[in-house]
Amino acid sequence: MVFKLFAKISFGLCIVASILVATSEYVGEPIKCEHGTDKIDEELFTVYCWIHGSKKIPENLQKAFECKANVSDDGTKDTIYYQWVVFMLAINGIMFKIPHLLWRVCEGGIMKEFHRGKNARSKLMEDDSMRSNLKIHMNSFKKLKGQKNLGYYTRFQICQVLNLLILILNWWATNQFLAGNFHTYGLEVTEFYSKDAYVRGVTHDPMCNAFPTVVGCSMTLVGTAGKAVPVTGICILAQNIINEKVYLFLWFWFVFLFVMVSVQLLFEIAVLAIPAFRIWVTAQQTGTYTGQMKSYLQFQCNVGDWFLLYQIGKNTNKTFFYNLIDKLSLENQNPKGNGDIEKLISDEASNDNETLEMDERK
């Protein structure tokens, strides 16, 4: 579940957001500037401000532009990031994909080999197909049982922890990219828009603070006497109308991911530390279990063995999975018959047929 949230949904959301921002940047007019002088062409001034960045309007002038934001005291350009938003979102998406790609390498295609072309999910599986699939699954499980499964489980947990580390890294990188405005962005926006309109009018707007739509820009020209001649104007950053919404959504999505990955890690801790919890999880997959099955899972399977069975259960129907664990527990109970899985399955099927014939005679 968590891998899908990171590798598919989060990756997809970041790429879609990147495409959306790129569309507004390269199809429309992301920036439009006005300087009110004939010393320089406005298009040249606009291109300069787009490439070299701009800075927020001084606080004493912000009321006229309805964009109240915190202004840095050193006068440095603080909005140059906007031309990199497309690439940053793409990088976020690629980072979310890394744990899944690593797991695919570490997993080695085990699940695919277990279920390739076997239709073990089908609830309409015929008896012959059931017996054939059970034999293949039991043989494959026996080959991996023990230390191999433990290694499989350990690699999975490393990738799970990597999901959390990637999320933290993405959060930190985004906050650095937005000059420290991302950490509390969602909370501040929610708080700001919960206030009355009058209060909002005299309060710094967190959206405008992170993504100002009106900025100042200064370009220096060289005059006829060789002296520097500054040209100052204002610019409308239309792209930031998109950016502020994109990052507001991403803030809440990142928080949701933190919650989900925390729940997943708590689940994994419970699986590792509480054998009874593992039995309960398996019972949810099989629908029920016998004392023999419980004993097998609790005493004959380490956590790696259980994890492989759990993965199999997610890719098969309840009836098949119940029969698989039932046959594994029967085989374990009868060590003399360990070498003949097919006979074990055939005997069980024969017993079912005999019972059916007796019922028909009655």
Q: What is the pLDDT of residues 228-263, one digit of tens each?
A: 777 888 888 888 888 999 999 999 999 999 999 999
Distance between CA atoms of residues 69 and 59, nearest Å: 7
Structure-token pair, residue 148: 């191999």
- Between 262 and 46, where is the model more confident? 262
- For residue 95, pLDDT beyond 70: yes
Assess contact for 107 and 308: CB atoms under 8 A. no
Distance between CA atoms of residues 309 and 283, nearest Å: 12
Q: Which of 37, 9, 3 is nearest to 250 (CA)?
A: 9
Distance between CA atoms of residues 123 and 53, nearest Å: 61
Structure-token pair, residue 87: 């690439």
Cα torsion 64, 67, 68, 69: sign = negative
Beta bridge partners of residue 236, listed in sequence order: 32, 214
Q: Report DSSP state, residue 316.
A: S
Structure-token pair, residue 235: 């610019």
Distance between CA atoms of residues 133 and 242, nearest Å: 53
Structure-token pair, residue 189: 């926006």
The confidence band for 192, taking pLDDT boundaries of 50, 70 and 90, is: confident
Q: Which of 140, 134, 144, 143 is nearest to 342 (CA)?
A: 134
What pLDDT does residue 362 have?
41
Assess contact for 204 and 269: CB atoms under 8 A. no
- For residue 47, pLDDT beyond 80: yes
The structure's pTM equals 0.80
Domain ranges for the chain? 2-123+156-267
Residue 183, exposed/middle/buried by CB under 10 A (0-12, 13-18, 19+)? Answer: middle
Q: Where would I find the H helices in the chain? A: 2-4, 11-26, 42-52, 59-65, 85-107, 110-115, 127-144, 147-177, 185-193, 197-201, 206-210, 239-273, 275-286, 291-295, 303-314, 318-333, 341-361
Run of H or E residues at 56 = strand 55-56
Distance between CA atoms of residues 237 and 172, nearest Å: 25
The confidence band for 352, taking pLDDT boundaries of 50, 70 and 90, is: very low
Distance between CA atoms of residues 96 and 242, nearest Å: 22
What pLDDT does residue 356 have?
31
Q: Which of 239, 261, 268, 104 is nearest to 171 (CA)?
A: 261
The 10 Å Cβ neighbour count of residue 15 is 17
- Between 251 and 70, where is the model more confident? 251
Lowest-confidence pick of 14-23, 24-33, 348-357:
348-357
- For residue 92, pLDDT beyond 60: yes
The confidence band for 91, taking pLDDT boundaries of 50, 70 and 90, is: very high
